[in-house]
Chain A
C-alpha cells in the first residue's frame, strides 16, 4: 500500500461514488476523506484533530472538491501552494459542471488537473497519467506471462 490519497468532499453521495470509482479503478491506496476545507488543511499540516501526524508524510494526490462549506476548495488550494511543505503536492480538482472547469482554468492557482464528477474511470486514469502518478496509484497488475 502506497501513500494515501486525500479526498476533500462534503457530499456523502459524491464520496461514496468517488470511493467506488477509485476501487473500480484498482486504486489500492488508502483514501483519507476530509469533509471540508479546514479539515483538509488540518490533515495536511497536522493541526487540530490531526496534531501529532507527521506533516512530512504528504498524500500522493489530493482530490479537491470546489464547493466546500466554510473554507472553499480554491482557498484550500491557495493554502496548499503557499506552504513550502505542500507546494508541489499534486492536486486534482473535482468539478461538478463545465462552469467550474472554467473557474479552474481562470484561476490557474496551480491545480494540476481536474476531473469531472462523478469520477469515472477513464477520466480519472487520464488525470493521473498526466500527473505521472499512474503506476503509483493504479494497482493494475500486468498479466505476467512467463515464457
Chain B
C-alpha cells in the first residue's frame, strides 16, 4: 500500500504473502525503522537505541549520528530560546514512565531542533505532541521507553495565527468600545440610549449629573422616569412614533421641553434624537442639553431689550416735547425782535439794530438746531420699510441738485453705476443727501473738486463710500464725527447744524449697518457704510476703528 516501503522491503513482503502464519523471518528492525510514525527507543539511561526513519526526517538527523548517544546530547534545548523547557518537561515525563511503568502523554511541547550545518545550522522552532510508553520485561520491569512524537508545528502555528487574529479582533473591539465609552462619558450633553420598549440601555455621566440619578438607578428603567409626570402618559406614543420613522431630528421642535430630576424639580431642555442600529435591534439615542442658563440669559436679554426700547421711546417723546416747547418762546424772541427792527427802523442806532439782528439770528439758529434734533428723533421713531433702492441714480439726482444750487462751482461727481441696496428709500435719501451734501460743502474751498460715490467689499458685505478731496478732518477726532452737534470745523468756515453725520449714522444703524470715516486734514475724507450685518437695528453702540 505504500510504494516507499514496498521498494525497500519488497522481498519480505512477498514472503509474507506466501505464508501468512510464519513470522519467524519477519524483519522487525526494518518494520520498526520504516514505520510511518516517528519513534525513538531509549534505554533506562535515556540513551538512544533505535529510531524510525520518520523520526530522523522529522528531526533532521541521521541514524548513525544519534544511535547510542544520550537523548539530551542529541536534542538539547534551543540556547537562543530563554523560555525553552522541552528538555525539562521531556525528562520529567520519561522519568515518570521509568518510575511508574505506565505510558504518559505529554502536553504539546515547544522543542526546537538543530538544523544541520548543510541547511544553515541554528535551531528551528517546532511543536510536538509527545507520547512516552514503557517496554516492559517479563518481570514487569521497564526495559526501554518508546518515545513517539507527532510534529504539530503547522497545527500550532495555525492555531497561533487564529488566536492572534482573535486577540487582535478582541483588542480592536475593546478599543472601539473604550473609545465609544470615553466619547459618551466626555460628551458635554447627557446621552440616554433607549430600546424599542422604552427601557434605558445606556446613560453617560452627564445624565447622572443632570437628572440626579445614579447609573444603576436608570439602567433598565422606562425612560419616562426622566419625563415630568404630566407628560408621561403621552410619551410612549411619541416614542413609538419615533421608532416607526426613526431619523435624526429634534424632539418636539418648537415646543418648550422639560426634564424631571430625581428630586422632582424640572428644568428646560433640548433633545435631539438619532436612531442607532445595533445587533440588539434599533435603539434611539437622545442627546439632552440643559438650556436653563441659555433660557434665563435669553430672558434677561429680552427684558433688557424691552426696557431699553421703552427708555428709548420715552427719551424720544421727551426730546420731541422739549424741542417742541423750546420752539414756542423762540418764535416770540425772534418774532418780536424782528418786529422791533421793523417798527423802529430809522429810530435805532446801528449798534442797537445790530444787537436785535443778533437776537434774531441766534433764535433762528436755535430753531434750526431744534428742527434738526426733531428730525433725528423722528428717524428712530418711524418704521423702516425696506425696498430696492438704486443708490447710483439716487446719488446722481442729489449731485444734480447740488450742482443746481451752486452752478458756478467746478466739481466732478463720479458715481459708480448699478449700486442697488435693500433699504428704506426715504431714509437712504436723507443719508445720501447728508453725505454728498457734506462732500459738496467741504470741498467749497477747492478750486476744482472731485466727489466719488462707489462700493467695495468689506468683510463680505458691500461697503458704499462717499469720497471727497476737500477739507478732510483730523483722524484723532474721528469718533466725534458722528456725535450730534459736534462740529470739527468753525461755522465761519463751513456752516451746519452738526446733526448731519449723526443722522446718517442713525439711518445706517437702523439698517443694521455701520459707518466709519477716514481722512486727514486738508486732504479729503472718505465715509464708508454698510447696510446689513454688524450692529442691531436701533443699536447705539459707537465703534471706533
Contact = CB atoms under 8 A, between A and B. Distances in A.
B332 to A, nearest CB: 4
Interface size on A, as a range, is 10 to 19
Interface stretch (A47-55, A91-99, A139-147): A91-99
Contacts of A97: 323-324, 327, 370-371, 374
Given A20-B339, A96-B324, A99-B324, A13 B374 contact: no
A11 interface: yes
Contact of A96 (B328, B334, B375, B378): B328
Contacts of A11: 328
Interface in B335-359: 335-336, 339
Contacts of A17: 331-332, 335-336, 339
Interface string A72-99: 0000000000000000000000001111
A14 interface: yes
Interface residues of B, number: 17
B320 interface: yes
A117 interface: yes
A118 interface: yes
A96 B370 CA distance: 11
Contacts of B327: 96-97
A124 to B, nearest CB: 14
B194 to A, nearest CB: 61
Nearest to B334: A118
Interface in A23-68: 67
Nearest to B342: A24
A13 B335 contact: yes
A100 B13 CA distance: 139
Contacts of A98: 371, 374-375
A11 B328 CA distance: 9
A99 B375 CA distance: 8
Nearest to B378: A99
B70 to A, nearest CB: 125
A67 to B, nearest CB: 8
A102 B379 CA distance: 13
Given A13-B331, A17-B335, A97-B323, 13 more contacts: A13-B329, A13-B332, A13-B335, A14-B331, A14-B332, A16-B336, A96-B328, A96-B331, A98-B374, A99-B324, A99-B374, A99-B378, A118-B334
10 contacts: A13-B329, A13-B336, A17-B339, A97-B323, A98-B371, A98-B374, A99-B320, A102-B378, A118-B334, A118-B335
Interface of A: 11, 13-14, 16-17, 20, 67, 96-99, 102, 117-118
Interface of B: 320, 323-324, 327-329, 331-332, 334-336, 339, 370-371, 374-375, 378
- By Cβ-Cβ distance, the 5 closest A-B pairs, closest first, are A13-B332, A17-B335, A118-B335, A118-B331, A99-B374
